[in-house]
Structure 1
Amino acid sequence: MPSSQHFIQNPILPGFNPDPSIVRVGSDYYIATSTFEWYPGVQIHHSRDLVNWRLACRPLSRASQLDLRGEPDNCGIWAPCLSYADGLFWLIYTDMKRKSGSFRDSHNYLVTAPAIEGPWSEPVFLNSSGFDPSLFHDDDGRKWLVNMLTDYRARPSRFAGIVLQEYDAASQRLVGPVTNIFKGSHFGWTEGPHLYKRGGFYYLIAAEGGTGYEHAVTMARSASITGPYELHPDLAVVTSRYAPDAELQRAGHGDFVETAHGETYLVHLASRPIPGLRRSPLGRETAIQKCAWSEDGWLRLECEKYTPQMCVPAPDLPIHTFPVEAEKVRFAPGDLPAPFQWLRTPYPERLFSLTERPGYLRLHARESVGSWYEQSLIARRQTGFDYDAETEVEADPKNFMQLAGLIAYYNRSAYHYLALTWDDSVGACLQVITCNGEWPNAATYLGLEEPVAVQAGKPVAMRIEVRGTALRFFWRQDGRWQRIGPVLDASALSDECGEGQNTRSPLSFTGVGNFTGAFVGMAANDVGGLAMPADFSYFSYVNL
């Protein structure tokens, strides 16, 4: 029967879920989003009504598919493209090894699977000429790869247009000439291409204007796949650049899908800055807009021109809900609970175990906070502006180089960490370590004139309370909760802060060079190399 759920509330994928690519297979809808340096790579969510979504899988889960060790913050998996043809799911993605300076090392790969849960194949290397690759399956059976082209010689932008090349599935390689089919609009920074065919035209949508506050989804079309492409008369299909007060900002990088009833929906990334402050701790999220094809054959939003809406009409589909995520997780042998990820390494057994002490998540303390190689940090996305998170840790630090506890983390230059550690004056103790986005001053003790002593060998419960820009830590050991440390700046854990950003003038800042989002979780570090074990009995997260 038709849905009585008439509206979709944005964002549909809250928290760090950028660069959405959507595909419909029968009555099922799937969205793939970028994961950058977080492992396993690529998040794929599933829905049957475009309203309710669940995490279906993270397909890049083994060393032969993906190894991110040594990759800088904001590198790793960029802009996956998910499609379905010939009885297979096709997933195209970039592994960005370097993004700073003139040069970029962006390697593009393809994996396939007969079902969304897998098994996913070994990767096929495609090219390294640019990032954001996308595969188009034409109705004549041919397949075409598009990606943005990087030109290290160009100034001020190294974005040199969208290139097209045929992919031969039988030989698993690109063949034929490379054609630059679209140089982009005056918005510049042309990336995120997707090709479609409709009514005798090839339609190309692109992400332009950079992924900051002038971001946009633009469109062009041509009677030939190789061009020339004419721009949409409105240029943008969706953008927030003309609506600085809109709740959804930085709207861009989109993909569209049609329902079985012929309704058209466009998914796109967007951010929700803290009101009055251009900082987005929730990162770039996935939103959806209802669209319509105008008489002139161009796609437009059904609502206000350009501007993304928080609430949009739902399609005429039956309601299909999924189990609600548990607020409190108690650890058991098996797989890591679905919300959690770790950083970079394809060898998680060196970071954690769910079997060494049944009923606990054991972290093997490895390198320092912010390491690009082997950091024992198990965390989940922040998905609300106000939340409480709590855990309990049992560890036995013997020196100041050993730490374990509760952390709110963005990257190596933006985090707040309540750590159980050691101080020679008091023994086992608690300490707050924080970095507000400034580099290289990436670890500063704040607000504690003396370490807070705790009883050695006994569990310590820890809690974070975040209320907008304010972050507070609490702890207890056989008693009531106690505050520890000063009120910290939660907004520093945002795309607009961190290394290379303008942290002093956030209100005037328009560009963004960080691309992930805030996480909260459990950490253990042993910079002396002794791999201190730290056991966590539970983890809870509640949006308020």
Structure 2
Amino acid sequence: MKIKNPILPGFNPDPSIIRVGNTYYIANSTFEWFPGVRLHSSKDLVHWKLLPSILDSKELIDMTGDPSSGGVWAPDLSYADGKFWLVFSDVKVVEGPFKDCINYLTTADNIMGPWSKPIKLDATGFDASLFHDTDGKKYLVQQTWDQREYKNTFNGITLTELDSNSLRLLPQTRKVIYKGTDVKVVEGPHLYKINGYYYLFAAQGGTSWSHQEIVARSKSLVPGSFVIEPGAPFITNFDTPDFGLQKQGHGSLVNTPDDEWYYASLCGRPWHHKNESSWDPRGWCTLGRETSIQKVEWDSENWPRIVGGHGGLINVPSPKVGTAYSTKKRNNSRYDGFSSSRLDNEWQTLRQPFTDKLGYIKGNKLILKGNQSLSSIFDVSLLASRWQAFNFDATTKIKYDPYSYQQMAGLVNFYNDKHYSWIFITYDEQTNHKVIEVAQNDNNVYTSFLKEKAIEIPENCEDVWFKTCVRKYHYYYMYSFDGKNWQKVPIDLDAAILSDDYVMQTSGGFFTGAMVGLASVDCTGFELPAEFDYFDYKELDEKLL
């Protein structure tokens, strides 16, 4: 049996992996999406099960007003003293000289919760992790942010002791233990004690094509004592441009009950248009930053090395021991008929929980109240889940009765508040009819494609079916008035616009991935509801297209 990469397809970056007994857990960043911290478990590192997210209430995380790609960064999951520990950042600023990130700590006796009310730790920098030393001491290890314009903003890795009783940091113990290399942008630190050495794993080079992970070690935690691993970086794809996985770096280490070692890393799978080079730029990662796993062996000098070379492998040898959750072929297709009052774990909302403020489920229908536009960073009635394949169809059935062009509801493909598109029902005041429109926001340039040629909905038609067809390089929308006969809206949209790599050209916040979902907007302020009957996400085999 092999581990097939990526193990967590779609927007699942910054993996923090641990093992408790014979179960592995991975926590991933969720940024502005609620609930915070995506969580998976596995028995064999091959098959992964999605668990409820950890930060599932406003008491645990309040992201109101957080910018796109702000919010929950790089959660660190650990297990010590008979309980789970989670450190996470809530980032309030993503662009400019300041970050304004707050680091919190929450604990739980059980991975399923309940989790304690978060304790504020500090705001020194992001990507904080908790190290439990063998002598019982605990330390917060983190990237250090420097706002001074004459310094590099990534100012090394800071270590601060945590009082085990009060769970408060001891500021007087703070010290920078590692400054990084000339590659710069050192971040995402994790500290381990193995065979008498402190091993520091840290990312550098930024989270794009030059991303990499380095390893340094020391016999003590004295500043300046860490020695860098000789040779190439521990893992990188900077010099493997033709490999199927790119951007590998930021991640964490885990060992099996049989003392085999593995490294979970973020990664990307770019594609490129036919008229573009596959090397520079390397393409567009519409599925965002995903999670890969690579096997690790220790060389004769006790340095960790990636099996297969520092670029990694697609198919990785699995552990000798492990019991699979399932042997079914992996496919993330799903159907939601809204038969439960509780949303399934794949759904996420923007910045706040799904409450009556946004909508509710009643009589096997999802009711979304009309709220602010998709360009808002406050009250947005958008229920979305990840693109997890390059080719898929997503379908819904909607009942909606707008009386103003400011009222819109439909099916959305979404990256952030400046990059999205949708097909929706609205009202045309010129014809006094409900119509179908398709629109796109491209870096805040909003385009209504149909305009005066918007598709008129027949008078006797109560329900409308919408479908989006994503075909790796492009995607389009379809509609139906009976759920059987479909018409394509003759507009092909460039999928690259919904990628990290496109957004990073104009924004400092480019860390999520494309999402697909359902939305209701009412700019009149009267909260007109839209009724959705179901959501069907069906992944397609690229070979059959």
TM-score by length of 2: 0.94
Is the 8 Å Cα contact of residues 390 and 539 (structure 1) preserved in structure 2? yes
Structure 1 unaligned blocks of 5 or more: 1-5, 503-510
Q: Distance in 2 between matches of 1:249 and 1:300?
A: 18
Q: Which residue of 2 aligns with 1:142?
A: 137
Of the three residues 401, 408, 411, the one matched with 2:406 is 401
Q: Which residue of 2 aligns with 1:353?
A: 360
Tell me by how many angstroms 1:157 deviates.
3.0
Of the three residues 292, 300, 314, the one matched with 2:297 is 292
The aligned amino acid for 2:471 is: R
Q: Which residue of 2 aligns with 1:132?
A: 127
Q: Which residue of 1 aligns with 2:369?
A: 364
The aligned amino acid for 1:150 is: W
Tell me by how many angstroms 1:374 deviates.
0.6
1:149-160 alignment, distance < 5 Å: 149-155=144-150, 157-160=152-155
1:72-124 per-residue CA deviation (whole Å, 9 max, x = no partner) reads: 11100000000000111000000000021111101000010111110011001
Q: Distance in 2 between matches of 1:197 and 1:44?
A: 25
Match status 1:112 vs 2:104:
no
Is the 8 Å Cα contact of residues 370 and 522 (structure 2) preserved in structure 1? yes
Of the three residues 492, 504, 515, the one matched with 1:519 is 515
Of the three residues 170, 182, 185, the one matched with 2:165 is 170
Match status 1:219 vs 2:218:
no
Tell me by how many angstroms 1:254 deviates.
1.4
The aligned amino acid for 1:290 is: K
Match status 1:464 vs 2:468:
yes
Name the CA shift for 1:65/1:513 in 2 (closer, same or farther; >3 Å): closer
Q: Distance in 1 between matches of 2:317 and 2:150?
A: 43
Dislocated runs of 4+, deviation >2 Å: 154-157, 321-327, 346-349
Q: 2:173 aligns to what SS in structure 1?
A: strand
Tell me by how many angstroms 1:321 deviates.
2.3
Is the 8 Å Cα contact of residues 447 and 486 (structure 1) preserved in structure 2? no
Q: Which residue of 2 aligns with 1:321?
A: 325
Alignment root-mean-square deviation, CA: 1.6
The aligned amino acid for 1:532 is: L
Match status 1:451 vs 2:454:
yes
Match status 1:257 vs 2:254:
yes
Tell me by how many angstroms 1:512 deviates.
7.7
Of the three residues 270, 274, 280, the one matched with 2:267 is 270
TM-score by length of 1: 0.94
Tell me by how many angstroms 1:251 deviates.
1.0
Q: Which residue of 2 aligns with 1:192?
A: 188
1:7-37 per-residue CA deviation (whole Å, 9 max, x = no partner) reads: 1100000000000000000000000000000
Q: Which residue of 1 aligns with 2:440?
A: 434
1:9-158 alignment, distance < 5 Å: 9-155=4-150, 157-158=152-153
Q: 2:288 aligns to what SS in structure 1?
A: coil
Tell me by how many angstroms 1:496 deviates.
1.2
1:467-489 per-residue CA deviation (whole Å, 9 max, x = no partner) reads: 11111100001251011141111
1:481-523 per-residue CA deviation (whole Å, 9 max, x = no partner) reads: 011141111121000123x516xxxxxxxx9850000000101
The aligned amino acid for 1:270 is: C
Q: 1:149 aligns to what SS in structure 2?
A: strand
Is the 8 Å Cα contact of residues 57 and 116 (structure 1) preserved in structure 2? no
Of the three residues 222, 230, 236, the one matched with 1:239 is 236
Q: Distance in 2 between matches of 1:349 and 1:449?
A: 35
Tell me by how many angstroms 1:448 deviates.
5.0
Q: Which residue of 2 aligns with 1:505?
A: none
Is the 8 Å Cα contact of residues 332 and 539 (structure 2) preserved in structure 1? no
The aligned amino acid for 2:325 is: T
Q: 2:188 aligns to what SS in structure 1?
A: strand
Q: Which residue of 2 aligns with 1:342?
A: 349
The aligned amino acid for 2:269 is: R
Q: Distance in 1 between matches of 2:509 and 2:381?
A: 25
Is the 8 Å Cα contact of residues 496 and 513 (structure 1) preserved in structure 2? no
1:215-239 per-residue CA deviation (whole Å, 9 max, x = no partner) reads: 0011100110234101010251110
Matched-pair identity in %: 40
Q: 2:136 aligns to what SS in structure 1?
A: coil
The aligned amino acid for 2:255 is: E
The aligned amino acid for 2:126 is: F
Is the 8 Å Cα contact of residues 70 and 509 (structure 2) preserved in structure 1? no
Tell me by how many angstroms 1:542 deviates.
1.2
Q: 2:271 aligns to what SS in structure 1?
A: coil
1:417-453 per-residue CA deviation (whole Å, 9 max, x = no partner) reads: 00111001331010001123x23x2x21115541111
Moved more, 91-100 or 345-354: 345-354
Moved more, 64-73 or 21-30: 64-73
Q: 1:472 aligns to what SS in structure 2?
A: strand
Aligned positions, number: 524
Is the 8 Å Cα contact of residues 437 and 450 (structure 2) preserved in structure 1? no
Q: 1:398 aligns to what SS in structure 2?
A: coil
Q: Distance in 2 between matches of 1:155 and 1:253?
A: 26
Q: Which residue of 1 aligns with 2:524?
A: 528
Is the 8 Å Cα contact of residues 440 and 447 (structure 2) preserved in structure 1? yes
Is the 8 Å Cα contact of residues 333 and 539 (structure 2) preserved in structure 1? no
Of the three residues 336, 339, 352, the one matched with 1:332 is 339
